[in-house]
Structure 1
């Protein structure tokens, strides 16, 4: 008697469909960018149309789907999906706002204050010399640091370049010349006590960055300082909400890519998050 047991999914594999939690406006925006890019570089043929590619790439970014799984369902190779992801991510990343332009735009609208904060994107542990760079002693994990600004409504205005996790937030802000550009635009920033010491300007001048008070071992906070910290924390609540929206993209849960490409990824997600939040 001969056994003839076949796999349930058959030779072509089993394909499952799932709902993508994104608006059609965002998908159409990505598809339009892809079509314009293909026209610009003179590419006449792709394995799938631009609209289909614009649906595959957000599945990788939003739901953290593996490129190999999506490749099998669309009859393309895994490396093709990976190339599409990098290609599409670079399009909105190139449209991310610059720091000086974002600040001037807020000033033209009559705004006077922006909210400043930093966040660590967790990554896999690196090997060799790269291991110490990405380790953050503050959060005791490996990651990449990104600094961002929001308005008083929590809308993301700007995201910095991604830096190794051992970099302090103050060092990152000074590298981007944040305080000088805030003064040039006539704006101020509100930050948490972790940014104390960032604005080391003339003590008689108005500070460009306002922070709370930090207690020391032999110098506890007074009642007035505690009330001031509480008021600043209430104002800064919106920046925490602004940071929460990009974290809905599961690809940021634990970045598997190299730190160099992570900057383009974060800036692309900032642009897409703003489109989702403003629709």
Structure 2
């Protein structure tokens, strides 16, 4: 069991090639694949209680920040067009991440096609409905939502240039929004989310949610549990 758990976690943390792990453990590549796919749901189920209580956080008015990150994928046939991001210039999925202003990850949403802008992704992932009536911070990609966004040129009448107040507000917002970038970096330390995903495409949502629970568990063990 220890070796099987090591194989599964190694694949998630380092995105190691299955052939290499098979060689190191003296088994075949199909055996490594079977072990990984058997252990993944067990790990996720075992860590189910590590999920932060987002509803309790919302009720007590926790200040939250949202941002999207991409998980690169191969040119899977069903997703050649829908998952191509013109902005990122690669095939990927868009994952919305919610953190507190201190950088503690709170929620990792279900992935949506990489072609979706953050404005559409927050709706399709269900986060816009979840956060309705709750103050939260976002970047310019979340215009049209209830998120507190930076000012942009063209919003002011006349010249359309940002006034001193707008620039000061944007600077202050940027200083706060570093927290969500920090939260995203924790998830991206699991290389299967940072490098091109080579696994079965329809299993990716489960992989992402398992990574989320592992990271919540890791932060909890370090004393940063919500």
TM range (shorter): 0.7 to 0.9
Give the number of the structure whose alpha-carbon radius of gyration is greater: 1
C-alpha separation between the residues in 2 aligned to 1:107 and 1:125? Answer: 38
**1:1-279 mapped onto 2 (5 Å cutoff):** 50-94=1-45, 102-107=53-58, 110-127=60-77, 130-183=79-132, 187-199=134-146, 209-216=147-154, 219-252=160-193, 253-278=195-220, 279=222
Q: CA deviation at 1:216?
A: 4.2
TM-score w.r.t. length of structure 2: 0.84
C-alpha separation between the residues in 2 aligned to 1:189 and 1:64? Answer: 33
RMSD, matched Cα:
2.5
TM-score w.r.t. length of structure 1: 0.69
C-alpha separation between the residues in 1 aligned to 2:44 and 2:64? Answer: 22
Of structures 1 and 2, the one with the larger relative CO (CA 8 A, separation 6+) is 2
C-alpha separation between the residues in 2 aligned to 1:257 and 1:228? Answer: 43
C-alpha separation between the residues in 2 aligned to 1:144 and 1:181? Answer: 21
Segment drifting more, 71-80 vs 142-151:
71-80
Q: CA deviation at 1:238?
A: 0.8
Aligned residues: 216
C-alpha separation between the residues in 2 aligned to 1:179 and 1:261? Answer: 25
Label 1:102 to 1:214 Cα distance change in 2 as closer, same or farther (>3 A).
farther
Label 1:177 to 1:270 Cα distance change in 2 as closer, same or farther (>3 A).
closer
Label 1:130 to 1:219 Cα distance change in 2 as closer, same or farther (>3 A).
same
